[in-house]
Amino acid sequence: MAHPSNAFPKEFYLVNGAKTVTGDFYAIQVLVAADAVMTVKGSGIFDPLAENAAGANQYIDPATGGSLTDSSHVAGQYERLSAYAGTVPCVVGTTIYGSFNEVQGTAGDQFVVYSK
């Protein structure tokens, strides 16, 4: 994929409030952030996990490519499974780049979501 600054979006969607859009997205522009987080599904999103943390089965085990188990992993950065709906911090005026397949707002949010 070309660098996002050189890519022209094929389509865009306005997420206005508690709405969910699905598709193949590369950028989310934050217009209004009611609670400073948005919920997304996508690939290449990493989170820190404590050793043997609960909920680890939502993350990829780098040794196997499958999902982690809750009670047998070390602390570190782990990639989310693409089907996992997790939160991402958002600040008004920012654009968040990545590979997203679902974006969900909450009441009072406004995002512009750009399609690949």
Query: Which domains occur in the chain, in start order?
Result: 1-44+84-116 (2.60.120), 46-79 (no CATH)
Sign of CA dihedral 21, 105, 79, 95: positive
Residue 37: predicted pLDDT:
85
Phi-psi region of 68 (alpha: psi -120 to 50; beta: other; left: phi over 0): beta
Residue 54: predicted pLDDT:
86
pLDDT digits (tens, 9 = 90+) for 45-102: 898 999 988 888 999 999 898 889 877 889 999 999 999 998 888 889 999 999 999 9
- State pTM to two decimals: 0.80
Would you say residue 3 has pLDDT above 80? no
- Residue corresponding to tokens 């609960």: 54
Residue 9: predicted pLDDT:
66
Distance, CA of 58 to CA of 66 (rounded, Å)? 10
Residue 8's contacts (CB-CB under 8 Å, 6 or more residues apart) are none
Residue 4: predicted pLDDT:
60
Phi and psi, residue 90, nearest 5°: -140, 145
